Structure 1
């Protein structure tokens, strides 16, 4: 067999074994670079506190959508469960994703974060496919988190496009072949009789009348 033929066969085998997203359905926050090919998209706008709003977003963040002094509009990428995958499970680590469907992927544990959005002239709205939760005048989003590995251990995920995960109980999980940058979103939630809460395993460090989420933005070396 010629050297060229061997190289071609090796290249085809490598492309066949390319890391894919794990099977099942789940949601990731959409970066400006877009969703993985074939994934389903949607968005949710949350109306934050009107009075002396103190929303904060990491300067130079990479979120798709729009973030201002009153409104937070996330865009989402949800994996189509019928899309082909050559792997069954997410790798071990310390991180969270967003839940979509009746249950979390295997080895994750469920939880949720509830935002008490602005009461007066509430302008919450949404469209498309969203993570599991509740989307009325207030917002509840369901999460899937795990802590069965060290954040220092590099795990394998697709590297062809940037993506977001969420911090859990340690710094941002390391991913092979990817840089990582922590990006923060703080929402100034309703001041009057605030009803914010959290349940189960969730990405917040602590609850309170305002919520702060720590995202991990990954991009290729």
Structure 2
């Protein structure tokens, strides 16, 4: 009986460990204030936004890690090892690409920000999503729409994290409450060249990008 009990406890421990392991592959996500998941690497990007009459906007009482004023400093969590537990589940959502390709099941795309031209002070550090981070900013994304956002998917559910909207509402995740949060950066006004390509997160705005994030917290 004692041996059976030990075996049962061991199996339950393994199941819990698997449920809390992030999917295999490399990828990035925007960082919440609570920090990155264990084993993820941290990076940051300073974007010099439009100087004249800056109109940056962000959801009140947001949960992003960073500094958001006339310019914005955003933090990212990157999984740089391909190890993990299984694949990302089917659904309707986006993550950020890390490395040369997306995890299985996703399609790739990008968002390009035309940052301030005059006395540009863009900066970066640490581990960042795939893209280009010079005087302007391009971030590559991985998106999928092979399932319903209203169906619950299984991901680690002990700590807060962000996904991004794709073509529907925020994806439901088992064991997590979700709240939409929005960032709109005021990009260069003169000859603005903002653009998107491929499979990219839901965005709106005219001359500026407004992106829609989904913030998850455990029940």
Q: Give me the TM-score of the superposition, normalised by structure 2.
A: 0.94
Distance in 2 between residues matched to 1:101 and 1:207, nearest whole Å? 28
Q: State whether residues 204 and 211 of structure 2, in contact with CA within 8 Å, keep that contact through their aligned partners in structure 1.
A: no
- Aligned partner of 1:77 in structure 2 is 77
Q: State whether residues 198 and 207 of structure 1, in contact with CA within 8 Å, keep that contact through their aligned partners in structure 2.
A: no
Q: State whether residues 197 and 208 of structure 1, in contact with CA within 8 Å, keep that contact through their aligned partners in structure 2.
A: no
- Aligned partner of 2:147 in structure 1 is 149
Deviation at 1:207, TM superposition (A): 6.2
- Aligned partner of 2:207 in structure 1 is 209
Structure 2: gaps of 5 or more residues: none
Distance 1:164-1:62 versus aligned 2 partners, 3 A rule: same
- Aligned partner of 1:106 in structure 2 is 104
- Aligned partner of 1:134 in structure 2 is 132
Look up the SS of the partner of 2:11 in the other structure. helix
- Aligned partner of 1:61 in structure 2 is 62
Look up the SS of the partner of 2:203 in the other structure. coil
Q: State whether residues 204 and 211 of structure 1, in contact with CA within 8 Å, keep that contact through their aligned partners in structure 2.
A: no
Distance in 2 between residues matched to 1:61 and 1:10, nearest whole Å? 42
Distance 1:143-1:36 versus aligned 2 partners, 3 A rule: same
Deviation at 1:7, TM superposition (A): 5.2
**1:14 is the counterpart of 2:12:** yes
**1:86 is the counterpart of 2:85:** yes
Q: State whether residues 203 and 209 of structure 2, in contact with CA within 8 Å, keep that contact through their aligned partners in structure 1.
A: no
**How many residues are matched?**
216
Q: State whether residues 80 and 98 of structure 2, in contact with CA within 8 Å, keep that contact through their aligned partners in structure 1.
A: no
Runs of at least 4 residues of structure 1 off by over 4 A? 5-8
Deviation at 1:160, TM superposition (A): 1.4
Compute the RMSD of aligned alpha carbons: 1.3
Look up the SS of the partner of 2:9 in the other structure. helix
Deviation at 1:81, TM superposition (A): 1.2
Distance in 2 between residues matched to 1:57 and 1:175, nearest whole Å? 24
Q: State whether residues 169 and 205 of structure 1, in contact with CA within 8 Å, keep that contact through their aligned partners in structure 2.
A: no
Q: State whether residues 66 and 73 of structure 2, in contact with CA within 8 Å, keep that contact through their aligned partners in structure 1.
A: yes
Structure 1: gaps of 5 or more residues: none
Q: State whether residues 109 and 201 of structure 1, in contact with CA within 8 Å, keep that contact through their aligned partners in structure 2.
A: yes
Measured against aligned partners, the alpha-carbon deviations of 1:9-30 in whole angstroms (never above 9, x if no partner) come to: 4333222123111111000111
Distance 1:193-1:13 versus aligned 2 partners, 3 A rule: same
Q: State whether residues 172 and 180 of structure 1, in contact with CA within 8 Å, keep that contact through their aligned partners in structure 2.
A: yes
Q: State whether residues 196 and 208 of structure 1, in contact with CA within 8 Å, keep that contact through their aligned partners in structure 2.
A: no
Distance 1:159-1:188 versus aligned 2 partners, 3 A rule: same
Deviation at 1:65, TM superposition (A): 1.0
Distance in 1 between residues matched to 2:180 and 2:6, nearest whole Å? 39
